[in-house]
C-alpha cells in the first residue's frame, strides 16, 4: 500500500470524507510489506525502521511538513463537537478561538522540515495519520457513554471506560480530575479527536451550557484546578493520552494487517 492508500483507509474507517489539516503524506511512495507505526516519529524512529527492515513509516502525531504547521486548524473540531451537544455555535467557536491562538503560535515555532528531510534521505516513505485515528477512538469512547444507564454515577462511567481493553492494559488509569465517583454523571460529552484536549476554554463552555461531565484524554493540572474553582458541581474525567490514542490506532493496525501488511508498533497499548 502507498502512503496515500493508508491515509484513505484511515479516513474510511473513521467515516471522514476529507483529509484533516494534521494528517497527510510527507514522503510519498509504496510503504511495502513491512511498516513501522509509531505514535511519535523522529529521526531515531526512522533509523530504527531501517534497522528493523521496514520499508515505510506511519506516524500518529504530526512529525513535520504541513500537518505539523497546520495542526492548530484541527482544533476547530472542538466547536463541531460542542455544537453536537447543544452548545450554541457562536459560544463554541469563541471558546475554541482561544486554543487556536495559543497552538498556532506553537506550530509556528516547529522545526517542520527536519523529520521529512531525514525520511527522504533514508529513502523511507512517511505518512502522518492523526485525526482519523483519534476520531476512531472518540467513537469507541462515545459508545461507552451511549450505553450508560439513566442515573449512572461518575464512578460507573469510569468503571465502564476502564473496561475498554486498551484503557485496562495501560500504565495510566482513568481518573476523576473534577467531581467525585458518587456524583451523578448527568449529561456527558466526549471531547476528543480535535487536535488535542480543549483545556479550560472548551470544558468551561460545555459546563456553562448544561453539560455535567466532560471526558478528555488528558488535561493539565492548572486547567483542572481552574475548572474546579468555577464549576465545583461538574465532573472532568481523563482517560490517559496514549491509552486513548491506542483506542483508535489498534483498529487501523488490524485493518492494515488484514490487507497483508506486517506492522511493527511503537508505543501503542495493545488490546
* Residue 229 near residue 204, CB atoms below 8 Å: no
Q: What is the pLDDT of residues 209-267, one digit of tens each?
A: 999 999 999 999 999 999 999 999 999 999 999 999 999 999 999 999 999 999 999 99
Going by C-alpha positions, the residue among 259, 261, 266 that lies closest to residue 32 is: 261
Distance of CA 159 to the CA centre of its chain: 21
Domain ranges within the chain, ordered by starting residue: 3-130+246-266, 136-244
Going by C-alpha positions, the residue among 64, 80, 63 that lies closest to residue 18 is: 80
Question: Where does 3-130+246-266 sit in CATH, by number?
Answer: 3.40.1390.30
Q: What are phi and psi of 190, to 5 degrees?
A: -95, 110
Q: What is the pLDDT of residues 43-100, one digit of tens each?
A: 999 999 999 999 999 999 999 999 999 999 999 999 999 999 999 999 999 999 989 9
CATH level 3 topology of 136-244? 3.40.1390
Domain 3-130+246-266 and domain 136-244 have a common topology: yes
* Residue 249 near residue 7, CB atoms below 8 Å: no
pTM, two decimals, is 0.96
DSSP 148: P
- The burial class, CB within 10 Å (0-12 / 13-18 / 19+), for 187 is middle
Q: What is the pLDDT of residues 166-206, one digit of tens each?
A: 999 999 999 999 999 999 999 999 999 999 999 999 999 99
- Residue showing cell 533509523: 47
Q: What is the pLDDT of residue 98?
A: 86
Amino acid at each position: 500500500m502507498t502512503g496515500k492508500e493508508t491515509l484513505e483507509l484511515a479516513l474510511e474507517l473513521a467515516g471522514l470524507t476529507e483529509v484533516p489539516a494534521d494528517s497527510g503524506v510527507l514522503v510519498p511512495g509504496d510503504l511495502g510489506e513491512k511498516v513501522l507505526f509509531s505514535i511519535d516519529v523522529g529521526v531515531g524512529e526512522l533509523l530504527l525502521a531501517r534497522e528493523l527492515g521496514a520499508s515505510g513509516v506511519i506516524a500518529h502525531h504530526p512529525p513535520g511538513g504541513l500537518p505539523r504547521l497546520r495542526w492548530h486548524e484541527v482544533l476547530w473540531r472542538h466547536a463541531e463537537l460542542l455544537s453536537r451537544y447543544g452548545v450554541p455555535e457562536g459560544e463554541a467557536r469563541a471558546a475554541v478561538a482561544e486554543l487556536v491562538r495559543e497552538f498556532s503560535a506553537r506550530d509556528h515555532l516547529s522545526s517542520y522540515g527536519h523529520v521529512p528531510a531525514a525520511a527522504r534521505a533514508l529513502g523511507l516513505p512517511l505518512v502522518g495519520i492523526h485525526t482519523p485515528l483519534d476520531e476512531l477512538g472518540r467513537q469507541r469512547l462515545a459508545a461507552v457513554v451511549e450505553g450508560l444507564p439513566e442515573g449512572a454515577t461518575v464512578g460507573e462511567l469510569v468503571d465502564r471506560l476502564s473496561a475498554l481493553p486498551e484503557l485496562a492494559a495501560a500504565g495510566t488509569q482513568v481518573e476523576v480530575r473534577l467531581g467525585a465517583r458518587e456524583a451523578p454523571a448527568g449529561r456527558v460529552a466526549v471531547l476528543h479527536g480535535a487536535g488535542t484536549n480543549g483545556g479550560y476554554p472548551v470544558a468551561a463552555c460545555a459546563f456553562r451550557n448544561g453539560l455535567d461531565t466532560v471526558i478528555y484524554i488528558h488535561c493539565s493540572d492548572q486547567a483542572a484546578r481552574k475548572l474546579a474553582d468555577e464549576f465545583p458541581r461538574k465532573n472532568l474525567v481523563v482517560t490517559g493520552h496514549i491509552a486513548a490514542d491506542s483506542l483508535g490506532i489498534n483498529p487501523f493496525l488490524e485493518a492494515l494487517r488484514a490487507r497483508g501488511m506486517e506492522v511493527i508498533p511503537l508505543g501503542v497499548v495493545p488490546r
